[in-house]
């Protein structure tokens, strides 16, 4: 009888120990995929890394996110479609590649609307950003949960210094497949070449196109200094690169998990702004050290501004929700049409 009791105690002990161990062992983490258009070292990567860190921290390691850089999961516009259909979890991409799916987002990519990072922060983190997020949900079934601030898109080329609009003549310039950006270059007197981001480096390298425009941070991260020499510091477009999530994925989460995703997005947004402010000046110096020549546009960019705003703004009033929408944005920044 005594032996039986001892045996039962042992069995019970083993059962309790097994239960404790099973509760303490980590559950296999859920890993989400984030498509990233740019390469390592880019502001996009910084945003993605911060989001992933906060996500993992807030879920005690039960949720992770893996970044797939350099368009490994498809072109930026393709990833919007994939997120919309729920076959991709997240994408980090340029705002101009969201605009075809949700045209009102184009209000932030009209030339010369945003004139500083502080203005970019004010618009994206406030009422306008919230409104655009709701529009992307409605139009494209994706939700903007974070913003990457990459700086003004500057013009680079391999042929000659460009300081005036006349200097643009003869240059073949790559632009994204975005109507607003195409029309901006047309207002300056040239027909740009629309091209997918994934094809751009090779096209520049093989002289299929002479130049392109992107922020200093992207020029550095993509090593364009190896194949481009001249930079024109135009400031027609402040590059915003949102992190989007499939709305189907977002809605499938518990309210607690949705709150964590939004918190991670907010912290990633704040991190991105701080990263740009800390790093951009040093990156410009590094580009010069690598052999690039940076020129300011003549006469404070006056001619560039006049032609672009007069030709492009009115053309897109309807698609962004009306002239009053742009007026509202400009009023928030202390300006007017």
Within a domain: 259: yes
pLDDT of residue 27: 53
Q: What tens digit of pLDDT does each residue of 312-335 get?
A: 999 999 999 999 999 999 999 999
Range of the domain at 172: 29-332
Cα–Cα dist 174/264, whole Å: 34
With a cut of 70, say whether residue 232 has pLDDT above it. Answer: yes
The residue among 1 and 171 whose pLDDT is bigger is 171
Within a domain: 314: yes
Within a domain: 112: yes
pLDDT of residue 74: 94
Cα–Cα dist 289/305, whole Å: 30
Number of domain units in the chain: 1
pLDDT of residue 42: 93
| Pairing outcome for strands 173-175 and 193-194 | parallel
Q: Residue 203: give its domain's CATH number.
A: 3.40.190.170
Q: What is the pTM of this model?
A: 0.88
Within a domain: 47: yes
Confidence grade of residue 305 (pLDDT, cut at 50, 70, 90): very high
Within a domain: 213: yes
Q: What tens digit of pLDDT does each residue of 70-106 get?
A: 999 999 999 999 999 999 999 999 999 999 999 999 9
CB-CB neighbours of 255 under 10 Å:
7
Within a domain: 15: no
Contact 65, 31 (CB under 8 A): yes
Q: What tens digit of pLDDT does each residue of 9-51 get?
A: 444 444 444 343 333 334 578 999 999 999 999 999 999 999 9
With a cut of 50, say whether residue 301 has pLDDT above it. Answer: yes
The chain-wide mean pLDDT, for the chain, equals 92
pLDDT of residue 28: 75
User: φ and ψ at 331, to 5 degrees?
Assistant: -60, -35
The residue among 173 and 23 whose pLDDT is bigger is 173
With a cut of 80, say whether residue 309 has pLDDT above it. Answer: yes
Q: What tens digit of pLDDT does each residue of 132-167 get?
A: 999 999 999 999 999 999 999 999 999 999 999 999
Q: What tens digit of pLDDT does each residue of 205-222 get?
A: 999 999 999 999 999 999
Within a domain: 266: yes
pLDDT of residue 38: 92
Within a domain: 291: yes
């Amino acid at each position: 009888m005594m032996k039986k009791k001892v045996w039962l105690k042992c069995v019970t002990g083993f059962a309790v120990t097994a239960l404790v161990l099973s509760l303490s062992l980590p559950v296999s983490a859920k890993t989400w995929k984030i498509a990233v258009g740019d390469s390592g070292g880019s502001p996009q990567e910084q945003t993605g890394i911060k989001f992933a860190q906060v996500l993992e921290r807030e879920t005690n390691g039960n949720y992770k996110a893996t970044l797939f850089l350099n368009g490994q999961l498809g072109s930026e516009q393709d990833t919007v479609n994939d997120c919309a259909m729920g076959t991709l979890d997240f994408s980090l991409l340029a705002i101009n590649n969201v605009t075809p799916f949700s045209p009102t987002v184009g209000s932030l990519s009209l030339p010369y609307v945003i004139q500083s990072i502080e203005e970019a922060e004010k618009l994206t983190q406030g009422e306008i950003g919230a409104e655009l997020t709701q529009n992307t949900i409605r139009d494209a079934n994706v939700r903007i949960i974070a913003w990457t601030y990459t700086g003004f898109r500057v013009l680079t080329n391999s042929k000659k210094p460009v300081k005036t609009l006349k200097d643009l003549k003869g240059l073949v310039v790559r632009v994204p497949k975005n109507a607003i950006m195409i029309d901006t270059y047309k207002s300056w007197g040239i027909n740009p070449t629309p091209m997918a981001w994934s094809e751009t480096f090779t096209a520049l390298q093989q002289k299929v196109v002479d130049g392109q425009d992107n922020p200093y941070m992207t020029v550095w991260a993509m090593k364009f200094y190896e194949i481009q020499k001249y930079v024109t510091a135009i400031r027609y477009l402040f590059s915003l690169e949102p992190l989007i999530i499939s709305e189907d994925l977002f809605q499938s989460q518990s309210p607690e998990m949705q709150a964590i995703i939004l918190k991670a997005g907010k912290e990633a947004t704040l991190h991105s702004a701080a990263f740009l402010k800390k790093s951009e000046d040093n990156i410009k110096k590094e580009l010069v050290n690598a052999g690039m020549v940076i020129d300011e546009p003549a006469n404070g960019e006056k001619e560039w501004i006049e032609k672009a705003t007069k030709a492009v703004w009115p053309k897109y009033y309807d698609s962004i929700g009306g002239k009053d929408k742009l007026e509202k944005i400009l009023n928030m920044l202390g300006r007017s049409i």
